[in-house]
Amino acid sequence: MLPSNLKKIALFLERLPGIGEKTANRLAIYLLRMPQDDLKEFGNNISSLKTKTRLCKICLNFTEEEICSIDQDKTREGSVLTVVEQVYDLISFETGNIYKGVYHVLHGRIDPLNNIRPEDIYIDALISRVRKQNTDARQKIKEIIIATNPDMEGEATAMFIRDRLNELKKEIRAKFTITRLGYGLPIGASLEYADYMTLKKSIEGRKEF
């Protein structure tokens, strides 16, 4: 049985996504065994997390500055914009170093069952950003990649954004293209175990070989 102060830490850790009771207990004990200076630094970072972290005024990524490091990077291709649901989706793109464009983070997706409506996420901010960049800025947006997740809510969000962007294209007479991430069979997968939707997306996304 853990002492009350240690148990409080474990109960808090258990509230984090993907952390069960046993893992929470192990982590709490690990924290107890950390050197005091490291634990103090960790505690200070936790306590200042909310006050130091803000949303980038351009892409809504997390940052400690007014503009995040991605939007400050002059080598990024500002004409290609990828729309993602969450910051950790952005991190996935950046980890693989496979993309050199910029981002827009929605911080959610349309989910009527959980009362998340289009106005509850940053779709209006996306439309305003595209409108402004394609009317005022020198470097106009040429392509918008909708990279929401390929589930029911992600698809509904993607279609809603596509329709809003198409309306904007007509309104401002812009020529940017709207694309959707290709989804299909992962490398090393077997057709035998693929669901019908994955096969459908694989067929739709096929290209000349």
Domain boundaries, the chain: 4-52, 74-180
- The reply to whether domains 4-52 and 74-180 share a CATH topology is no
Average pLDDT, the chain: 92
Confidence of residue 18 (pLDDT cuts 50, 70, 90): very high
Among candidate residues 119, 122, 129, the one with its CA nearest the CA of residue 172: 129
Q: Quick one: pLDDT at residue 205?
A: 78
Query: pLDDT > 70: what percent of the chain?
Result: 100
pLDDT per residue as tens digits for the range 101-136: 999 999 999 999 999 999 999 999 999 999 999 998
Q: Quick one: pLDDT at residue 100?
A: 94
Q: Quick one: pLDDT at residue 193?
A: 80
Query: pLDDT > 90: what percent of the chain?
Result: 78
Q: Quick one: pLDDT at residue 37?
A: 96
pLDDT per residue as tens digits for the range 84-96: 999 999 999 998 7
pLDDT exceeds 80 at position 191: no
CA–CA distance, 13 with 88 (Å, rounded to integer): 20
Q: What average pLDDT does the segment 67-83 reach?
A: 96
pLDDT exceeds 90 at position 190: no
Go through 54-67 and write b for each residue having 16 or more CB atoms within 10 A of its CB, e for each that does not: ebbebbbbebeeee
pLDDT per residue as tens digits for the range 195-206: 887 788 788 777
Q: Which fold has domain 4-52?
A: Helicase, Ruva Protein; domain 3 (1.10.8)
Q: What residues contact 153, with CB distance under 8 A and at least 6 apart?
A: 109, 110, 111
> 80 near 101, Cβ under 8 Å?
yes
Q: What average pLDDT does the segment 27-48 reach?
A: 94
pLDDT exceeds 80 at position 208: no
Alpha helices in the chain (DSSP H): 4-14, 21-33, 36-47, 49-52, 69-72, 87-95, 123-133, 152-172, 196-204
The CATH number of 74-180 is 3.40.1360.10
